[in-house]
Amino acid sequence: MKAGDEIPPLTIPVTRTLIVAGAIASRDYQDVHHDAELARRKGSPDIFMNILTTNGLVGRYITDHFGPAAVLKKVAIRLGAPNYPGDTMVLTGTIEDVDGDTVTVRVIGANGIGNHVTGTVTVSQGSAR
């Protein structure tokens, strides 16, 4: 593994259930993540995924690839195009740096309207564990 290598994509169907379940599992009760009528009243076309769920999916993408021994050290994400129900998000990753046991991955999650999330994950591969 070296800088520039790509890791296989992960496709996430953005269902209404995922958005609501993710919001509730992350204790985020902002109405825009579960109540379409109130979301529309605030100018959004529908409910949309909360940042904690996106953060969790980015983490899952990396640990799915590196395996259960891998340990996340840092996750830094920025949100762009919202994840609305019915869309699909495809997570892709590019190895940015390999330093001994530690790997830095640039992650992009693209949906039908643009990049939902861009970020960087630092993971320890956990070979010592």
Partner 1 sequence: MSDDLLARLKSYEGCPAAVARTGKDPVNAPMIRHWCEALGDTNPAYTGPDAVAPPTMLQVWTMGGLTGHDTRTQAYDELLALLDESGCTSVVATDCEQEYVRPLRPGDEITFDTVIESVSARKTTKLGTGHFVTTRTELRVGPDLVGIHRFRILKYAPARRPEKKPPRPRPVVNRDNAGFWKGVEQHKLLIQRCTACATLRFPWLPGCASCGAPDWDTVEATGEGTVYSYVVMHHPPFPAFDPPYAVALIELAEGVRMISNVIGTPYEKVRIGMPVRLEFQSYDDELVLPVFRVAEEAAV
Binding interface with partner 1 (CB under 8 A): 12, 18, 21-22, 24-29, 42-43, 50-53, 55-60, 63-64, 68-69, 71-79
Q: Closest approach of Cβ 2 to partner 1, in Å? A: 25
* Minimal distance, residue 32 CB to partner 1, in Å: 8
Give min distance, CB of 126 to partner 1, in A: 9
CA-to-CA distance for 120 and 123, rounded, in angstroms? 10
Which of 4/66 has CB closer to partner 1?
A: 66
Beta carbon nearer to partner 1, 4 or 52: 52
| 64 Ramachandran zone, left/alpha/beta (phi>0; psi -120 to 50) | alpha
State the nearest-atom distance from the C-beta of 104 to partner 1, in Å.
13
Q: Which two tokens stand for residue 32?
A: 């825009």
Is 4 within 8 Å of 98 (Cβ atoms)?
no
Exposed/middle/buried for residue 83 (C-beta within 10 Å: 0-12, 13-18, 19+): buried
* Of residues 50 and 110, the one with the C-beta less far from partner 1: 50
